[in-house]
Amino acid sequence: MSVPETKELKVELPEYTLKDVAAHNTKGDTWMVIHGQGNFPLNNQKDGANITTVFDLTKYLHDHPGGPEVLLEVAGTDATADYEDVGHSEDAREIMQPFLVGTLKDAHQYVQPKTVRVVSQKAPEVANSSSSTIKTIAFTLGGLAPVFYLISQRNNLTKSLGAISHLIPHPLKNLRLPHGGFINGFLAASAISTVLGVMVARQASRFTKIDSGFMRFPPHKKSKKVLRVDPHLARGFLDPQHYQRLHLVEKTELATNVYRFVFALPTATGILGLPIGQHVSIRAVVDGASITRSYTPTSNNLDRGRIELVIKCYPDGLLSGKYLAGLTVGEEVEFRGPKGSMRYTQGLCRKIGMVAGGTGITPMFQLIRAICENDTDTTEVSLVYANRSESDILLREELERFARQYPKNFKLWYMLDSAPEGWTYGSGYVDQAVLAKQLPAPSPDTKVMLCGPPGMVNATKKNLVALGFTKPGVVGKMTDQIFCF
pLDDT band for position 70 (cuts 50, 70, 90): confident
* Judgement on whether residues 284 and 387 belong to the same structural domain of the protein: no
* Judgement on whether residues 333 and 362 belong to the same structural domain of the protein: no
369 is in an annotated binding site: no
Kindly report, residue by residue over 284-295, the tens digit of the pLDDT. Answer: 999 999 999 999
pLDDT value, residue 220: 35
pLDDT band for position 466 (cuts 50, 70, 90): very high
* Judgement on whether residues 43 and 85 belong to the same structural domain of the protein: yes
Element of type H or E holding 80: helix 80-86
* Judgement on whether residues 357 and 478 belong to the same structural domain of the protein: yes
CATH of residue 312: 2.40.30.10
pLDDT value, residue 345: 86
Which residue in the list 35, 52, 279, 359 is annotated as catalytic?
A: 279
pLDDT value, residue 5: 45
Residue 279 falls in the annotated catalytic set = yes
| Contact present, 295 and 89 (Cβ < 8 Å) | no
295 is in an annotated binding site: yes
Residue 429 falls in the annotated catalytic set = no
60 is in an annotated binding site: no
Using alpha carbons, select from 233, 172, 239, 174 the residue that is nearest to residue 199: 172
Which residue in the list 52, 53, 292, 296 is annotated as catalytic?
A: 296
Kindly report, residue by residue over 228-275, the tens digit of the pLDDT. Answer: 567 888 888 999 989 999 999 999 998 889 999 999 999 999 999 999
* C-alpha torsion 84→87→91→92, nearest 10: -50
The structure's pTM equals 0.56
In the chain, the number of structural domains is: 3
As a whole-number percent, the residues of the chain with pLDDT over 90 amount to 43
pLDDT band for position 89 (cuts 50, 70, 90): low
Mean pLDDT for 143-163 is: 49
* Judgement on whether residues 334 and 418 belong to the same structural domain of the protein: no
Instruction: Give me the domain span that covers residue 78.
Output: 15-104
Mean pLDDT for 32-46 is: 59
Domain boundary among the residues 297, 317, 339 is at 339
As a whole-number percent, the residues of the chain with pLDDT over 70 amount to 66
Among 118-132, 219-233, 336-350, 431-445, the range with the most confident prediction by mean pLDDT is: 431-445
293 is in an annotated binding site: yes
CATH of residue 56: 3.10.120.10
Strand-pair category, 279-286 with 25-26: unpaired
Query: Is position 137 within any domain?
Result: no
Which residue in the list 35, 53, 379, 451 is annotated as catalytic?
A: 451
Query: Is position 302 within any domain?
Result: yes
* Judgement on whether residues 358 and 441 belong to the same structural domain of the protein: yes
Residue 295 falls in the annotated catalytic set = yes
Mean pLDDT for 5-23 is: 73
Residue 474 neighbours by CB under 8 Å, 6+ apart: 70, 73, 74, 82
What are the residues facing 282 on neighbouring strands? 293, 335
* Judgement on whether residues 302 and 384 belong to the same structural domain of the protein: no
Residue 115 falls in the annotated catalytic set = no
Residue 133 neighbours by CB under 8 Å, 6+ apart: 201, 204, 205, 208
pLDDT tops 90 at residue 51: no
More confident residue, 84 or 220: 84
* Judgement on whether residues 327 and 357 belong to the same structural domain of the protein: no
Which residue in the list 16, 149, 259, 295 is annotated as catalytic?
A: 295
